[in-house]
A and B are shown apart, each in its own frame.
Chain A
Amino acid sequence: MKLHEYTITQLHELISKKEVSVPELTRHMLDRISRLDSKLGCYITVTEEQAMERAEKVQKMIDEGALNSPLAGIPMAIKDNICTKGIPTTCASKMLGNFVPPYDAHVVKKLYDNGAVVLGKLNMDEFAMGSSTESSYFKKTKNPWNTERVPGGSSGGSAAAVAAGEAIYALGSDTGGSIRQPASFCGCVGLKPTYGLVSRFGLVAYASSFDQIGPLAKTVADCALILNAIAGHDPMDLTSSRRQHPDYTKALINDIKGMKIGIPREFIADNVQKDVRDAVLNAAKVFSSLGAECEEISIPIMEYVVPTYYIIALAEASSNLARYDGVKFGYRTANPKDMLDFCMRSRSEGFGTEVKRRILLGTYVLSSGHYDAYYKKALKARALITREFNKVFEKYDVIIGPVAPTTAYRIGEKINDPVQMYMEDIFTVPVNVAGLPAISIPCGFDSSSLPIGLQIIANRFDEPTLIRAAYTFEQNTDFHKAKPSIMDE
């Protein structure tokens, strides 16, 4: 097995036993990136020099006994909407093409504290708006399983990098499924934590009340390790929870006897690709065989989830993206006529089509005369949706279902049908609307050998149950062991 194929847990052991050094491991990863990334397009920025310097430093600290975190010396990469001091953070937009933050995001600081080695910044949909990574201003990322397919999005670079062994793990962000859906398309594990568990400070805002940073990795155990490092209260983010979080590795228990699992009828309806539905139903059988009680349930409010999500998310986005006016940072137009022209042209030239579409929609739903009909109604719907999910969790420990209605589709196949793409977020957005934690884990392959993801959803702050269910499934199946052939290159 080559170094990039190992999990965090395995590499930690190799590093501890001095069977591999951090610089050696980092070099291996960087070489791999330089060899493969022109094919896959995972990275926007590769920080080769900084990574090697950092690797030497981390190795020294490990040798001195000053660092013993399981993440120490593990090479990883970060979605390009998470601020990294001194490293460009572009949000895959022309608008921020030249933006170098003078600060680290809270999660980045935490990872540095744990000895992480940052390989670079990963491609994504522009400002995290999209589900195929096709709206990136810089490049299209290819799915490692089939380079004619999209990797999903918006954290497409993160998922593809992990699946192709261009990073041992990655950080992504999930506003409406942006960690889980690419994890599902690329066959890795992606965890979207409870809203408020991980600080958003330094995450370039798309939709503030939904955005959440989370890990993408090869296994559930790796995700638990990363979550341990990045979770916790941050005084700089007033929406971050003050509660003490548990050690998530304690939830890595291969036992779900008696666990009550709900499978919403609405998640396995006709709009779901047949092999995806079959894989999910098969997963339910696996859970049942392991002693869980699986029951079909119904969440009728599901039909309102997508519009509710898009109205609120785009309203927030229209405001969050108002700061990009060319005055203080980012793209600035040349030779404007006057102040208004300056602002309008900077924005017209700096943003891509999908971002503009979402800003316009968000502006519309907040405008006087439309506010009550859209935004206010959506807030009420959000409260109802949250209540419906709360009710489910009174009876069930977790909900399972597909992550997306389909597996990875062809590049260019859906990009011109935004409404269709929005509708395909149906299974991921309820989690963000209700602020729940959820995970995507490999649960099968379709007829074209593309990975299928199983989504497990738990109650707020009940990551331990989520992790336990996912870990048990993983321990008792082999889906996560399959690798794309590019892993051997």
Chain B
Amino acid sequence: MEYEAVIGLEVHAELSTKSKLFCSCTTEFGGRPNTHCCPVCLGMPGTLPALNRKAIEYTIKAGLATNCTISRFTKQDRKNYFYPDLPKGYQISQYDLPLCKNGYVEIETENGKKKIRINRIHLEEDAGKLVHSEYGHNSYVDYNRTGVPLIEVVSEPDISSAAEAKAYLEKLKAILQFIGVSDCKMEEGSLRADVNISIRPKGSKELGERTEMKNLNSFRAIYRAIEAEVARQIEVVRSGGTIQRETRRWDDAKGKSYPMRSKEDAQDYRYFPEPDLPPLIIKEELIQRLKNELPELPDARKQRYMTEYGLPEYDAGVLTSSKELSDFFEEAAKASNNVKAISNWVMGDMLRILNERNLEVSQVPFPPAYLAKLVALLDKGVINGPTAKKVFEEMFDSGKDPEAIVKEQGLEVLNDESLLLQVVEKVIQENPNSVADYKKGKKKAIGFLVGQAMKATKGKANPQLLNELLVKKLEE
């Protein structure tokens, strides 16, 4: 029998508000342990939560950008459980009245566009972090992250493959970044995902028993975990077993998951309305204002790149996959009259270099306008292609203006015919064998000679001119 996967994602994204959800402590990542906290976020006796309105607004924005209905009446609830990283012994979250409901995100799949429905988006506070000692068996708690506002985006089980899950996550990440509510850095834990996976006979409408996968720290881990879990479930069912409702922990190094807790161990969170925070009434005017504040979303921008810049759909898609990349591209494009070249540079060399050097777009040491300058230098023939590539690398090293690099290092294309002629004559003299080969009809030999001449000019010669001169000289 053929099986298909049914997948739902619970995505947690930390909101990029300046202060925490219920106090004025900074939300900044890092910092020495327990330096970003106060009596309120440490849950000290007698303290009360004061609500950060920005976090409410950010959550509503996330809902609007994912086509959700915004609740006009909402409240916060306590989710009770004991864990040392949870200072109050409960997490302030939302239970039955989330801020946003019934939205969707559109993704591209091999079979075209697909809508992934969003069940709900709710606001809650983050917990701290346990740090286990490398020596002895002590554990320590770092409460810096405690109380940082978090949204949980719960999808419907509309996803049917690891690739779709990845596409959904990438889209969601791009949207949250575009609207500026989260920086979605998985490596810093500001974007986290739990995956619910089940399988069913292909074409069936019923849902099978699901497992929940935790400890997924990268898109790659999510992708691999889904592939592995779907395969595991199919294997279990094919060999006559049944899937147990359980939570599993993904071990990315081993490429395997392990049972963490079964349904029987499921916690009873004893949710009840948070008595310290009155219910919230969301006014229509607020929703309207936030709607008006929403910037261009990734899909709209992609469409614009296609119509305004004439970029192919694929290119426009890549360029709008992250806000930072898209903003970089757009700023460079605005400073240039060769958008296609800018697009090629960004998608090609720039992404390659970022990848090689393990950098974020935000860490690019030069302004986007410098890329436009580089393209202009190339277009005007001031430098040649190979030099441009070298200059671009150099820009990543020093952050310098490409014009300055070219000038300082004398990298301008050599267009001086008499100078190049001298070089050509010298190369012909020094390589009689190749010249003889050429004259015998081995036209390929010219490649070697051009190479030698290029080398003699330290790669700066105008290659076309060099070629012309060489051919002319050889044909004499």
Contacts and interface: CB of A to CB of B under 8 A. Distances in A.
B311 interface: no
A319 B48 contact: no
A200 B43 CA distance: 15
B207 to A, nearest CB: 22
A368 B50 contact: no
B45 A366 contact: no
A220 interface: no
A101 interface: yes
* Interface residue range, chain B: 20 to 34
B139 interface: yes
A83 B45 contact: yes
A368 B45 contact: no
Contact of A235 (B43, B50, B80, B276): B50
Interface stretch (B81-89, B116-124, B372-380): B81-89
B45 A91 contact: yes
A376 B437 CA distance: 96
B310 to A, nearest CB: 53
B438 interface: no
A339 to B, nearest CB: 7
B44 A325 contact: no
B51 A238 contact: yes
Nearest to B266: A368
A367 B141 contact: no
B275 interface: yes
Give the residue among B42, B48, B49, B278 with the most A Cβ atoms within 10 A. B48
B39 A102 contact: yes
Contacts of B50: 235-238
B113 interface: no
Given A319-B78, A366-B80, A89 B88 contact: no
A211 to B, nearest CB: 9
Given A235-B50, A322-B90, A323-B89, A367 B268 contact: yes
Interface residues of A, number: 45
A236 B48 CA distance: 7
Contact of A325 (B84, B268, B272, B278): B84
A249 interface: no
A288 B89 CA distance: 52
A323 B272 contact: no
Interface string A289-328: 0000000000000000000000000011011011111011
A318 B88 CA distance: 12
A18 to B, nearest CB: 38
Interface string A413-448: 000000000000000000000000000000000000
Interface stretch (A202-210, A391-399, A450-458): A202-210
Contacts, number: 105
A325 B89 contact: yes
Nearest to B80: A319
A239 B88 contact: no
A366 B272 contact: yes
B139 A339 contact: yes
Contacts of B272: 315-316, 319, 366, 371, 375
Contact of B45 (A96, A318, A319): A96
B268 A327 contact: no
B277 interface: yes
A201 interface: yes
B89 A99 contact: no
Given A96-B45, A328-B43, A366-B270, A319 B90 contact: yes
B128 to A, nearest CB: 10
Contact of A201 (B46, B87, B139, B278): B46
Interface of A: 81-83, 89, 91, 96, 99, 101-103, 105, 200-205, 207-209, 235-239, 315-316, 318-319, 321-325, 327-329, 339, 343, 363, 366-368, 371, 375
20 contacts: A96-B45, A101-B39, A102-B39, A105-B46, A204-B45, A204-B46, A208-B275, A208-B276, A237-B50, A238-B50, A238-B278, A239-B275, A316-B272, A319-B80, A323-B45, A323-B89, A325-B82, A328-B44, A366-B270, A375-B272
